[in-house]
Structure 1
């Protein structure tokens, strides 16, 4: 990736930690030997265990857990709070490296409580940074900034300049994430001045690259280029290929914006070589995107298409991981909210029980009132749980709906069709197909976060989809779209591409099986407070070509059914799907609530 985030900033540091761990392998062997000889359960053994965990954190975190658990247990037995706090911090580090943020946050918070009890300012400072990182990952920016500010204050009071640089950089990246680029630049410049003062070239290169990103977001492209170039030169000097590849990709992107395509191609090719060398998939996707744009501007159509294919393939693998990460993040948020609600409920319950023991013998009526409030709180907690589960279902259904709309078969079949047109020198058809495919892809991605779009926008997407499939089938079918004149297309809202799975089934499981082509009719009617959407074809029908166990068709219908269940629950309506077999073809009737924009 070319746009640095807080995590990639520390990824650069991670490469050095990895080398450090590798160089410390002999130290780990020595520690393990000492542990086998020194079996007394005291602070000395705890120190050896924590040192061993520290050397394993970035090289073999999964196997380090037994060591850290033993260190925590011994510290608790001998009532050594600092040892227990150090063990919990190392346990949090292990969970964080393994991307288990929820357990990492729990360990860090327990360690923070102990460090504050024993008034260990250095340990408290580092834990504030760790907790800030977790909140930033969860996009809880206010909490992240609160912890980073506390980390900065503690670092300044202790005179720890490297930690002060880290705090300023993390605060800057949070401000950039929320779009406050001027504030982000201010903190980055403070961090850069300190890094230069410390002569820490790694920090200087990473911070300079982040400054380039901030100026790019402000559309100050000359200043952005200046910082990216400085970062690339310094990264090459210190041998950090991660920062160098990121900076070169960014230089290529800015030059594309400035229409300096020779420079864009030069930097894109350099970035691609480096990204392949360090196996950075997302940065490779960025490089191919830059090169595709350059080749297209230079009239090298075939090379542009090949580059775009590479970009799509790599980008899709990254997007899938990001969607999984996003879903995991949402699930973690729901779990944290539920745990917080349960913890608050337990505190209140204990207080009520205590009060009940004090006055229960005298005020029997008050006990009844307390019982009612307990029931009410329990009911509210269950409601919160249901809401959390409903949100999780919404997130999962939205993700599946996006995957069904942007399935790899459709993407690669479309790209192969474009390639086929090019190989046959049918440039006009290839250009027409590519323009429509790009427009459809962009629209689907833009609408992926929207729950409702106007009927006019949705029908435009459906037309694009049908036209693409028609081009692939060499115009072997016709279609017709009719909308009731009582429906205001620009004011009526529908879920994005809700009809697409049924249209796809009509084309590939109905009409494509016929020798003489066919006809698809789409009709939108108003029925009281509902909209009736009809998809009808004269294909082969379900009896011959769509058996009940057809997994792909069933999956599309199931996802649409889940989307309707969510709409019914949220809007208290009776949306439904009805599939009617005809002598020739299939008729699908989909009912949706009449939702108006204004």
Structure 2
């Protein structure tokens, strides 16, 4: 085994070990994946770099372990693109969007989700498109746009149900439960959380099961059904400890502490809240730690341990000021006023209560400003959607215009005349063969007229039918070749239907026929970059200048109309896909002599379906 193969085998072994370890040890599964990534980077194995980053991204967000940065995700996306695996690496876009969401960079998050949706649509990947809508719903949830969140989450759920994708179904049911919980519709929240839990138990995923149990327990706490709340939270805590998921351990202990606080069991509440805080200091973001400090301070205040409460509130206040977290400051100031009121220190109680009122007012003002900003973002998104729909409408109209240009009456008339001549010459078998091809060509053109794109493989077959009939008409005075670059998978590439037909027609009529002998027509497919490819139509005919002398007055008009329609289609499609698409026509020069014409059409590897 050579060194390259040995490195790949080692990387794959580490990734397999990572998956095996996830059920028993989260730190171990992350360590295996990080080692695989380090080796992939050292050996420049780009295809494994993006896979390792994607795997770490899943672990990072599933287990709340910050093991990747923005630059890591961007590196993964770049590697996936360079390896021609942009679609397979589509989860990296959603993971980066999730990171941006956690950093409150919502506009950037939306951009990457939209990119993921676009890639999914290009590859007709309905499942990932649905997953992406789920991520978009979570962004709108964070922005407080609950109606839009509801719409996106339901769209994701509907697609997942159509696909039978249980993992996405359980996720969106859980997200909808969180949405209803946020809105205070606890019975609806319970219904969705319980449906999600049922599926999670079926797929036997301990982390997801524990998460659902936590959510249900928190709803029961909000309903003041404390016995049920403790039952679910304790079950979740037991699972979380068995799989060493520190985030869920912290969350459950904190929630159990809150239940005991609300029921007046302050000693038990102190125990759980203290344990949650100590572990959170090791594994959670600092602002989450500050929230837990507030929780514990409130319990100390209620149990009469005022100095401890003040110490914790001061820690929380410092963190809130450092991070400009006015929501947290509002809570801290309120609790400080309560502690000093219990201490009968009226001046201090008044001071902190005044700060509480001022901060609360400022928070409400900022919330109004955020509402305006949210509405502006929504208006921008709506305008972009309207522009996209207009472009799609224009594209559909352009496709209809292209159909009219493709079915040239002269071609129809002359083709049928040629078949009729074969019948007159008693060449019945050959006539039937060409009649069959003519019928297939007409049917394909009409079928494809309703589509914005077809597979390149199908399109090349149609070109073959068209050229076969033209060869019959002109008694096989030219040959036809198709050259496909080995990196091009024509079955997985798209093309607007009959995009090159006018150029084939022009090459045959005005380039090759006047040549008389050794005439050749070639269609060439070759890659340009990760998103585009080139289709060339080349002939070794007499060239553009001499062909002008052979054209009639009517023919140039048809050719010119076809060219205009193609450029219109490419412009509209390029605007939809945010790609530069165009076609160029040039003479083929050999030894300073024109030896033909070459048309180059820049096309997207995948387009859209309208």
TM-score (ref. length: structure 2): 0.47
TM-score (ref. length: structure 1): 0.48
**Structure of greater Rg:** 2
